[in-house]
Amino acid sequence: MWPFLHQETRLGGRVMEKATLAAMYDTHRDEFLAALRQVMAVKSVRGQQAEHAPFGSGPRAVLTAVAQLGAAYGFKTAVVNDAMAYVQWGEDDQHYIGIVGHLDVVPAGDADWHFPPYALSEKDGRLYGRGVLDNKGPSMACLIGMKLLKDAGFQPQKTIRLIFGSDEESGSNDVPRYLASEVPPEFGFTPDCKFPVVYGERGIVNYRITTPIAPASIKQIGTIAGDQARDHVPDKLTVAVDGQPITANGIRVPTNAPEKGVNAITELAKKLVTEQLVTGELASYCQWLIDSLAEKHFGEGLGMAFEDADSGRLIVTPYSLQKTDDAMTLGLAMRYPVTYHEADVSKALTPDADVRRALAAAVPAGSQITIVRSMPSVLHDRHDPRIAQLTQAYKKMTGNDGTPVTTTGATYAREMPNIIAFGPSFPGQKGIAHKENEWMDEADLKLNMMIFMDAMIGLTERDPTRLETGA
């Protein structure tokens, strides 16, 4: 007899226990890892647009790969406008539960990897490779989990459609292409954030702050080189000072978790100032970077810290620094609390100043401030019975508190209607994606699959207004 008899899931009129779901993974582990290995081998980094490949050959190739896997498992499949693929269980194309993951990945970066970035590696119970967490591993856990339910005889009362994207990391331009031909899901989730259920996502505003510097001063340094992009804190920057190379090292983390890393931008500013490598206006600018942004991740250095009860404090992250002949340009990302709207942020950051006026007071005189990215916050009803169904699945499989939460991240929930974020990271796991040696413990990926399987059952069989509470 299986243990955990009080933690049960009804499957086609029979009882499927937590231990049974675990055993199903164990039995089919090799099949799952083989499928995951297949999609991880595709270097699905955004590339040059081509015919039938709007986001490059790699992202397009991985859609073909997952559609072929889905067809081999006996599901209905399609690639929609060369942008997203789906694997569907059921025939209702108009009313379905959607599970929306993505198979595109960020580049491996310049850092040294201990494992091949575009392959699946295993060591001591941990899986490595670009996308194993973000988001190929969890997406394939959904696919194999759905196959296992089908093979076990479960009959969903609603259609389940797994949707696989190819441009999430570069702006989610795949979603409009999908919605041009397909109706959106009635409800569903993206396994591309964290547990438990995420009912709200912070708003995001990225600024470009251009500060004039006298040519006689700015010529002290050359071009700033390094891997700088809006998705991560830079971990290494190099610049020539009077012809001599200077390097600043940091620790790369996603821009939504700057406190977990070390920012090479502010480290470079510290080195230039403390070693007295620059003088004049350029030195003053570097000092401003230090005073306003070094280890000051929550707006306190800019005089614009604010927060709410749902999601906490504003997060500020410098992510790029460039020079021209007469100016320094800083890329600055702000993630504001989930209960705020962009209009609130524009006019009410402080009692008597809006964001841009507050910034204007905080940045060096003469700076030009331009908004280069704007993503409003997303907020769902945390009491939705379908959210409660996901909460129940999480609590049953983990035994952990399932109270819905908010996030600092940005997921498909911002672009795909009726989608919330759910998984794959567990509490305490933050800042793993977008780094070298990206990893996920196999035990966590297994638990992900169990949670997603129970969620599929709950959303398609049970009446969400009559929830089982369990023991």
Q: pLDDT tens digits for 9-64? A: 555 444 468 999 999 999 999 999 999 999 999 999 999 999 999 999 999 999 99
Q: Which of 342, 422, 414, 433 is nearest to 173 (CA)?
A: 414
Q: Where are the domains of the chain?
A: 8-201+378-460, 203-375
Q: pLDDT tens digits for 62-88? A: 999 999 999 999 999 999 999 999 999
Q: What is the DSSP letter of 104?
A: -
Using an 8 Å Cβ cutoff, are 206 and 220 in contact?
no
For 381-399, letters b (16+ CB in 10 Å) and e give ebebebbbbbbbbbbbbbe
What is the model's pLDDT at position 11? 53
Of the listed ranges 136-140, 240-244, 355-359, 454-458, the least confidently predicted one is: 355-359
Q: pLDDT tens digits for 253-277? A: 989 999 999 999 999 999 999 999 9
Torsion-angle region of residue 125: left (phi > 0), alpha (psi -120 to 50) or beta? left
Q: Which two tokens stand for residue 167?
A: 């441009």
Average pLDDT of the residues of the chain: 90
Residue bearing tokens 């507050």:
358
User: Does the pLDDT of residue 317 top 50, yes or no?
Assistant: yes
Model confidence at 469, pLDDT cuts 50, 70, 90, reads very low
User: Does the pLDDT of residue 238 top 90, yes or no?
Assistant: yes
Residue bearing tokens 């700076």:
367
* Percent of the chain residues past pLDDT 70, beyond the cut: 90
The residue-averaged pLDDT of 332-347 equals 72
Amino acid type, 471: A
Q: Per the CATH hierarchy, to which homologous superfamily does domain 8-201+378-460 belong?
A: Zn peptidases (3.40.630.10)
Using omega within 30 degrees of 0 as the cis cutoff, is the peptide bond preceding 424 cis?
Answer: yes
Residue bearing tokens 């990391």:
169
